[in-house]
Structure 1
């Protein structure tokens, strides 16, 4: 899931963040965290359930299990190997108090990396009502 290039101009902050995360030297692959937070935060009625579930699974694995982006990418691959009906996750009206615009406003480097993590945590917290369903499907598919 590299959702990042050729986005409309209103997504320019996300494009900037993608450039930063894809060129990041850390092999932990921080880009995956940005993708998951962005998808979960901007999901709409037309977003496929699998996209929402995978984004939230990534946030769960980061925030509660301390997975790296690379480990989350591998988890997504294992989850995708199971053809399954994905649970419906209700989209909360507010999806975190941090936006991608605020993330890219922070200077590049450790401060921005910390802000990406804070963004992920804020988005994950906003989906609290769907936590049990996400944990259950993620854990079941990663066994």
Structure 2
């Protein structure tokens, strides 16, 4: 068995992949993230608005000392925008495009000991698009709650950086 160093998910061991450097993830867990992305892309009319939330939840669950500060900040501000400000995942992605040009350097955030009880595995178990949407929301909320120690800092930073910027419909 392989244990994901990020979310602690146990899966049958597979070969290592080059994408492991980007995420603090086992290859098996990273493969499940690809399966969720593929499912999202197979149902764009309903799931396009949730794809970025999947990216952000996965990113926030798989942080290591080598993760770039902007990657952690974007994962967290994406979850903040969706679950606290009511943005869609597409709107959060557009905000990332705007925010990328607002700060010359991003702060480092220390991950919590527990990054949430819901993982990408739970989302792969969805038997329908509706269940997938529910599980993505549960996953994102679980990860966002796990990072509660930085909620105020993320909210203040994100709101200040966005200023008067508003998402397009």
TM-score for both structures, normalised by structure 1: 0.90
Alignment-derived partner of residue 50 in structure 1 = 70
Alignment-derived partner of residue 62 in structure 1 = 82
Cα contact 2:59–2:71 (8 A) shared by 1:
yes
Offset of residue 115 of structure 1: 0.4
Offset of residue 92 of structure 1: 0.6
SS at match of 2:49: coil
Offset of residue 27 of structure 1: 7.1
CA distance in 2, matches of 1:128, 1:27: 26
Cα contact 2:55–2:75 (8 A) shared by 1:
yes
Max Rg structure:
2
Cα contact 2:41–2:48 (8 A) shared by 1:
no
1:95 counterpart = 2:115 = yes
Structure-to-structure mapping, 1:1-143, within 5 angstroms = 7=19, 9-10=27-28, 11-24=30-43, 25-26=45-46, 29-143=49-163
SS at match of 1:84: coil
Alpha-carbon RMSD: 1.6
Higher relative contact order (CA 8 A, sep 6+): 1
Query: Structure 2: 5+ residue runs without aligned partners?
Result: 1-17, 21-26, 164-169
CA distance in 2, matches of 1:39, 1:78: 19
Q: What per-residue deviation string (whole Å, max 9, x for no partner) do you get for residues 24-80 of structure 1?
A: 223752110100000000111110010000000000011111101111011111111
